[in-house]
Structures are given as structure tokens and as C-alpha cells.
Amino acid sequence: MYSNEIIKKHDFLKNHGRNPLSFSSINGLGISYHLKHKKKLFKMQNIFYLVVLFSIGINANPLLRVYENPLNNKQVDLFFVVDEANANMNQLELGQIKLAIIDAATELQPSGSSPYFGVYFYGAKTSVEAVVPFPTTSAATMKSKLDLKQYSVGQSSPSTLSSALQLVRSACGSTSARSNVPRVAVIFTANPYVLAESYVRELESSYGMTVIAVGIGPLALVSSLQKISSHPSATYVMSFNAYSDVVSSARYISGVVSNVPPALTRGSTLSISSTTNGVLYSVQLNTAGHINNNETLVTYTTNCHFCTVYISLGYPNPSSANANQNTDRKYIYTSSGTYYDTYYFRIPKSTNRLFLSFVANGASSITGVFDTLAIPQILQ
């Protein structure tokens, strides 16, 4: 089962040091592949990648609307982090990246939304410049502050991405940061600073952050961008030839940002007061802190009885379009008259994120809890 995910999950397996052709199956994730289809698979991949690159480079993806996931409640704590090193950016390009940020922020503030913004520049001055302090709650206010930002001549010992991410970490730990709201950092760079990877992983594990790496130009190698981004890189790494391409893709970037699922931790409870029948609800679990040398069994227990559940390692919002329904479950009937379904997913080691979606049935007072259990080596 789940064989339809392998076509678009090849990058995930490759990026995690695994040869996808060596997998016969992964129970619970349904990754299956047959060597006789190798050539056909690669052709399909190439076509898929060309279509994605074309849609990103020419126009924003019209299918990716902002705030499609109801669990986001039209909210996001968003940090833009910009590399302004003189070797990577001139005055014209500074204006273009400012315009891209403003366009993305404006797209993220439709009626009824509540985004928080912060914008940080590094790489030119000795200290990181918080041009738009977090939390700025208006795209218009952000624009007025960004309009005042001038081109900075490079100084000796310029600030680094690590320094900028430390400021992001401080903001996440402040009382201004909101709980149960997706946290996203978007890094714009023409020369990825891979030494900042440890700060990215800390933001992920300690603050539930999803980091999107946007590379511009020939020095922004995908392999380097992957080190400063969250998984899956197929979604959270973006490469552009020029800053002008980033401007034309601002709407696409905002769509990806707004649909980052809220992060749950093991044992924390997802609570939804009411649901809409037929609507997809998505969450994510950071599994990095719970994976040891053995593979891990992840459980999800919910009172959304017989809801349709999708699971994925490679898609932040799994659905019938990119994953199969998970049917590995057991259910119990409590004395209070409530059904609870427990779904089981076997997760391979070296996995960082698990994404789960369910199609609601219109029920109210829905809860869900993740737990993990290491599978003994003898059972593998």
C-alpha cells in the first residue's frame, strides 16, 4: 500500500542517505517499488520536476491557496531572514527582496487573519539588523519599516545566519510568541551558511519551527540549502536564478508558509471544538527527539471515530492526491460511550517529521494525541 507516494518521495529517501531502489516496502508508510519500473519512474520524476519548476518560475502555483488548513486559524508567526552580504546582493536586488517580502506578507493578511511578522538582515553589518521587530502585526506597518531600510556597505566581521537565528530563537522564547500557532522562518540567501544547521535544528526541536530556505543564484546549491531547511526539502527548499524571480513567486512562497501544519509534541493534545464535514485537517509531529537506533512506532489516538486518516513523511498536508488512507488502527469503546481510534505508523530511523491529515466528519470536540514506541531490534 501507499505505492503512489514513491514517485514523489524519491528525493526524501535520497536525502536521508537511503537508496530508494533498495526498499521493497516500509510497513505503515507503504513505500513499495519494483526495479522493472526504474526507467519509467525516473521519466515520470523528470516530468514532475519540470512542471514544478515551470509553475514556480513563471507564476505562483494557483492551486496553493493561503490558509487552506483550518487548524492554522489564519495565523502564523513568521520570520524573514535575509542575507545582505555585498558579494551576494546589490542595491537593486535589495529593493527586489524587500518587494518580495512585502508581497508575501500582504498575501498572508486576508480578512480575519492574524499573522505576526519579523524581518532580520545579516551579512553586511557587524550586528544583525532587526528591521521589522517581532511581533509586527500588520503588513502595512512592515512595509513602512522596510521602506526605510537602506543598502548596507559590508563591514569587517559581518554578522552571520547563526546570529540571526539566535535572534529568532529569542523571539520564539518571548511572551510575544504564540502557542499552538505555526512558526515559520524563511531564509533568503545567495550563499547558504551551512554552519548554521545546528541552530535550525534547535529551532525545530525546541520551538516547533519550520524553516524554508530560498536560494538565489548559482552559489545557492540545493545540497547546502537542505542543511538549513526543514524536511521535506521538496517543499521547503526553493531555488531561483535571480531576485526578480523571487518577486514573481512571492504568492507561491506565502502559500507554502500559510499551509505549514501546526506542530504537536509527543503527549500533547490536539483539541478542535468543531469540524466541517469533508474538510482536511493537517498536523505534524517532530519525531527527531524520539528516534533511536531502532525504528519507531508512532501512534495517534483520536475520538474522531472512523475519520479518514492520511500519513506521510514527504508531504506536509497528506491527502488522497499524494497518499493512501491509513487503515492500521484499533478502536475501543469506553464506559462513557465514546469511541477512540488508535492508528499505528512504523517510522524508519533518521526521520525528522511525520505529517498526518484527517478528513473530518462534522463531529465536535475532537481530540488527538501522538505517542511513540521504540520497536525492539529483534522485531525489525
Contacts of 33 (CB under 8 A, 6+ apart): 3, 6, 20, 21, 23, 24, 41
d(C-alpha 294, C-alpha 347), whole Å: 10
Q: Give residue-wise pLDDT tens across range 301-326.
A: 888 877 889 988 889 999 999 888 88
pLDDT at 243: 96
Three cell numbers, residue 113: 487573519
Architecture of domain 263-379: Sandwich (2.60)
Mean pLDDT (the chain) is 80
d(C-alpha 154, C-alpha 135), whole Å: 27
Q: Give residue-wise pLDDT tens across range 86-145.
A: 998 999 999 999 999 999 999 999 989 999 999 999 999 999 999 999 999 999 999 999
Query: Which residues are bridge partners to 347 per DSSP?
Result: 296
Q: Give residue-wise pLDDT tens across range 32-71.
A: 333 334 344 444 444 444 344 433 433 334 446 788 899 9
DSSP sequence for 10-68: HHHHHHTT--GGG-S--TTTT----GGGHHHHHHHHHHHHHHHHHHHHHS--TT--TT-
**The model's pTM:** 0.80
Q: Are 182 and 76 in contact (CB under 8 A)?
A: yes
Q: Give residue-wise pLDDT tens across range 321-367.
A: 988 888 777 777 666 667 788 888 888 777 778 899 999 888 888 88
70-258: CATH class: alpha beta
